[in-house]
Amino acid sequence: MKRLTMLSAATIIATITGCSVSNDFTPVAGNSGEEIFSNACIDCHTPENGYIYDISPEKANIESISAIISKGEMVMPAFPNIQGAELTAISEFVLAKNKPVVSEDAASE
């Protein structure tokens, strides 16, 4: 309950100020992307049909995803303490759980 209240407060602050809040979550060295996700991200990003993200194609790469995690993006908090191997691991996990772009051919089936 306390955690939910803090999340709402962070969201309200981000909405009012228009800039990202920072989350001080620090992963254990060597944690897998999945472990980091279930500790730090699952509260806001809920898996749906096996996929979690629906990132626009130009942002669906490791560099862009890492930048979003490090710096935040609007309501999405920044995670400055996720770095190095752990940042790569969580970025790869996000990319693996990103909904694949449906091509025109597949969509018209």
- Give residues in contact with ligand HEC (CB under 6 A): 7, 10, 36, 40-41, 43-45, 53-55, 59, 65, 68-69, 73-77, 79, 82, 90, 94
Closest CB to ligand HEC among residues 74, 85: 74
What's the min distance (Å) between Cβ of 30 and ligand HEC?
16
Q: Which is nearer to ligand HEC, 22 or 76 (CB)?
A: 76
User: How many Å apart are CA 57 and CA 63, to the nearest integer?
Assistant: 13
Instruction: Kindly state the smallest distance separating residue 109's Cβ from ligand HEC, in Å.
Output: 25
Encoding tokens for residue 103?
């091509």
27 contacts 83 by C-beta, under 8 angstroms: no
